[in-house]
Chains A and B, each alone.
Chain A
Amino acid sequence: MYSTKYIKPNSTSEALEAIKSMGEGKFLAGGMTLIPTLKQRLASPDGLVDISGCDLDSISDEVDAIKIGAMTKHASVGESGLVKKAIPALAKLADGIGDRQVRNRGTLGGSVANNDPSACYPSAVLALKAIVHTNTRSIEADEFFTGMFETLLEENEIIEAISFSKPAKANYVKFPNPASRYAMVGVFVAQFNDGVRVAVTGAGEGGVFRHAEMEAALSSNYNADALSALEISSEGLISDLHASPEYRANLIKEMTKRAVV
């Protein structure tokens, strides 16, 4: 990697100051994407602001929601009794990201801010009507993700925590890419009193998205059979070496069926 400045502040306000002092700085969360990119010399930021010391890794119960600090590691979410009890599907998702090493370093906020089209977490954010709390505002999940690797986050805006609404029922089922084990298709289904939300990751060219037809079908009948007659369009789905849009469309339906139990 190119040599770069490294700063580790103790609060988000210090972190913001630090990044403003750099021409083009980068926040460093778990670094599971950023560090490999830097090692490959595919980015050369003027500095890294490591926000792991900013006290952003608590998990709390907020009655209708579980609020998880942005720097909470996947392993902590997977192991959290609070999460397991209130939203077991979220714990399951966290426990299935990458491998043990990645889960011990990678963070919720890092994953969500990066919005990799194949990442698991964005689907939970979208399906669980999450609120993304940043240093300046709270953003609803439906507004937050704006495209592949793109979010509503401004330059120098830090995710501090994410509140996930507690669903009546939820499940996450992923079909991993055989090579990378990222989601080739991941479906998060969440049932709320006012309807069902289905968020799909790994499949859309624009990143994570909600699937309106499946949501409608499941809202009227929360049963895998309710999906049988649906034709899933392959329009806008990712095409790569491992899966054509048609195959991904098939997997979306299949994974959703398996998620509805």
Chain B
Amino acid sequence: MNEVTKIDGIGSSVRRTEDKKFLTGKGRYTDDINRPGQVQAYFLRSDVAHAEIKSIDTKAAQSAPGVVGVFTGADIAVDKVGGPICGWVVPCRDGSSTKEPPHPLLAQGKVRFVGDAVAVVVAETMEQAKSAAELIDVDYNELTPVVDFVNADKGAQIHEEVPNNCYFDWELGDEGATNKAIERAAKVVKLSVRNNRLVPNAMEPRSALAEYDSLDESYTLHTTSQNPHLTRLVLAAFMFAIPESKLRVIAPDVGGGFGSKIYVYIEEAVCVWASKKIGRPVKWTADRTQAFLTDCHGRDHVNDVQLALDENNKIIGLRVDTVCNLGAYLSAFSVVVPTILHGTLLSGQYDIPAIYTNVKGMATNTVNVDAYRGAGRPEATYLLERTMETAAKEVGMDPAEFRRINFIPKDAFPYQTQVALQYDIGDYEPHLDKAMEMIDYSNFEKRRAEAAKRGMYRGIGMSSYIEACGLAPSAVVGALGGRVGQWESASVRVNPTGTISVFTGSHSHGQGHATTFAQIVADKLGIPMENVEVIHGDTDKTPFGMGSYGSRSLASGGSAISKAVDKIINKSKKIAAHLLEASEDDIDFKDGKFVVGGTDKEKAFGEIALAAYVPHNYPLETLEPGLEENAFYDPTNFVFPSGTHIAEVEIDPATGVVEVVDWAACDDFGNLVNPMIVEGQVHGGIAQGIGQALLEDAHYDENGQLLTASYMDYCMPRADDLPSFKVGYTNTPCTHNDLGVKGCGEAGAIASPPALINAVIDALSPLGVTDMSMPATPQKVWKAIQESQSVAAE
């Protein structure tokens, strides 16, 4: 029959099959979709940060040209539609639970941040909706805004339900043992760091298109979501109290999320509600300003760190006291990010016998803060790796050696940390060694001296990070306060001609699942990748799944696909045994063929598929016809990627400009399915990390006005801010999933900020500079140089 077909299987850098449509502008995003009779929604938003609403007069807007409806919080309240819910809560030190104030779809009596939705205007066109919104008169009684989250407990109370503006006060670890370690330490290294606030800036702004079918009383929502099934669950069960079957959620092509599209936002819910109220499809699409104002922001922590060392410079204890800003309302995963996803990472790659952390989550009059690429893990890695570098310098050790003597030894796995996690496997020295070799660490001082001759300050900095991703198992997630399962689903349908349709609960919004997942199936079935189609993003087509976030798609979603394919192979063997008149035990499956062991009798995979759907010669008495299998996979543990990144910078003292001149990243992601896509993920992650470390900063003024709400002032990384990255890998395959894979999507963003800031401080160390906050902007670096020189002059 066929010639031997080249299988683009696991480990092959296949070009992304989805890119043709994206690169030719043929992607189909929510805003590209239009329905007959569609109207446009525009949200009138508060331009004050904290105020009571005395009155809202919508009369003039109601009768403006093209207006179909104008609604306020009062209309939502009449219909008793619930607001977005918090998906994860944690216990507080005093025994109480996280305070969960209501988050109304449209403001009820009060506005709590600039951008809070006060009313929605629905009109024939967006311009008409905007014009009508200008006619709405809102009378505010302004209250003192709370912007400084570190002192938010002393500010005006934002929610009745949240005393002292503290949503939670959580702890993890053994405080007594940790404090004792600090007391008896030969040296305690202290550091305070701030993790700057970031705006996610997905390329595609959020959008929603809701349609109500009055005949079967059901809704269809197209939306920019990373997890359409969760969106459906939350909207149906918690907000509208309708059966899930009456709501179809479709997340078509989605242009980036980085976490910001995990949650159900009020706009989606209002569109769903208004589509029934008005009886016409309702569309809303954010412009860039609304994206800045209303997408959940990321990070925004301050951490006080104490690292205790014994006389041999071995770590004996770590205490971290964190205050974080969660914004005006509790977003879906805002609580888990700075607690479970942050506190549990504090052991890093190190053997630390005592760890304690306390985290206070504060309410402020700023937009909600939630997951952003890395979500909690970049914050933990930043404080830890900044402290490791500082400690090394304080004790006079090479930072690499200081890390090395504190690494968890490779024979200690599985390793139980003092902060709840058990690392299944890892080996940290090889990636440290390899990264040092890639960047030519041993000759760095020569490069520093050469740069000095040119009047430049050159520095090197590293970061050895660990990441816990692919959250699991569900039982542990539940015990830690999670209100969701953490499994993933797959349905693999073999079509009669042997082509495959894979339905996944994961969601691709840039990750390249259509390619990676097809490679897994092609590899396992020995068929060409072109024969595999991956379908995602539609609750009517795909099995219930958890979507994509937290670097979980390959480890959880890919593993589920692998398990479903195993079931296909098992059933196919039974069919092959029947057709080949052999015992099932004698059937081997190899290179897409079912062979009777020791004979030349064989059936190709396609023949089996056809037999399953045209079962004329088929064991119908013992086997169902058809060839389609489901798998729901609940991993037994997180996966733990790790690695070392080393940054090299040059600083121009005349301007303070930091140039990233070299970068070595050596990561252990376990087995790689598509190394090219993995490398792309690493590049993107590092770019975002460099953005955080050097450029990006969401800045609210003291009145709660976002002053960086456009690209005039919010600084995104551009290609010319980045060096050519050197990327390498080590591999300790994950022990508990079939593919031996770990996550790679967030690693770059986790690893890179501390490496870069460590390099900046190293460069300036000849001047006596020992600290630098993010972002290290030219002005800030220049000022630090000036101050060090004036200190030197005194």
Which residues from chain A sit less than 8 Å from chain B, CB to CB?
1-3, 40-41, 175, 178-180, 182, 241-244, 247, 250-251, 254
Contact = CB atoms under 8 A, between A and B. Distances in A.
Given A241-B699, A241-B708, A178 B654 contact: no
12 contacts: A41-B130, A179-B711, A179-B712, A179-B713, A180-B713, A182-B712, A241-B708, A241-B713, A242-B777, A247-B783, A250-B654, A250-B782
Nearest to A257: B654
Given A179-B711, A242-B713, 9 more contacts: A175-B778, A178-B777, A179-B712, A179-B714, A242-B777, A247-B782, A247-B783, A251-B655, A254-B654
B127 interface: yes
B779 to A, nearest CB: 5
Given A3-B127, A243-B779, A244-B779, A180 B711 contact: yes
B131 interface: yes
Nearest to A41: B130
Contacts of A251: 655
Given A1-B127, A241-B707, A241-B708, A178 B782 contact: no
Contacts of B712: 179-180, 182
Dominant secondary structure at the B interface: loop
A246 B782 CA distance: 11
Interface residues of B, number: 22
B778 A178 contact: yes
Interface in B121-155: 127, 130-131
B713 A254 contact: no
A153 B715 CA distance: 34
B148 to A, nearest CB: 17
A254 B714 CA distance: 25
Contacts of B130: 41
Nearest to B696: A179
B695 interface: yes
B695 A178 contact: yes
Contacts of A244: 779
Interface in B671-719: 695, 699, 707-708, 711-716
Contacts of A179: 695, 708, 711-716
Contacts of A247: 656, 778-779, 782-783
Given A178-B695, A179-B712, A180-B711, A254 B655 contact: yes
B566 to A, nearest CB: 51
Contacts of A242: 713, 777, 779
Interface of B: 127, 130-131, 289, 654-656, 695, 699, 707-708, 711-716, 777-779, 782-783
A243 B716 CA distance: 17
Contacts of B713: 179-180, 241-242
Contacts of B778: 175, 178, 247
A254 B712 CA distance: 24
Contacts of B699: 241
Nearest to B654: A254
Nearest to B712: A180
Closest 4 CB pairs of A and B: A179-B715, A180-B712, A178-B715, A247-B779
Contacts of B654: 250, 254
Contacts of B777: 178, 242
Contacts of A2: 127, 131
Nearest to A255: B655
A250 B654 CA distance: 8
B124 to A, nearest CB: 14
A3 B713 CA distance: 29
Contacts of B782: 247, 250
Contacts of B779: 242-244, 247
A210 B778 CA distance: 25
Contacts of B711: 179-180
A166 to B, nearest CB: 31
Contacts of B715: 178-179
A65 B573 CA distance: 86
A247 B786 CA distance: 10
Nearest to A247: B779
A84 B714 CA distance: 34
A241 B655 CA distance: 16
B48 to A, nearest CB: 19
A243 B657 CA distance: 13
B459 to A, nearest CB: 20
B654, B695, B711: most-surrounded residue (chain A CB, <10 A): B654
A48 B457 CA distance: 52
Nearest to B778: A178
A38 to B, nearest CB: 12
A2, A3, A182, A241: most-surrounded residue (chain B CB, <10 A): A241
A182 B716 CA distance: 14
A243 B127 CA distance: 37
Contacts of A180: 711-713
A70 B289 CA distance: 32
A236 to B, nearest CB: 18
A255 to B, nearest CB: 9
A184 B713 CA distance: 12
Contacts of A182: 712
Nearest to A258: B654
B139 to A, nearest CB: 22
A175, A180, A182: most-surrounded residue (chain B CB, <10 A): A180
Nearest to A182: B712
B573 to A, nearest CB: 58
Contacts of A3: 127
B708 A175 contact: no
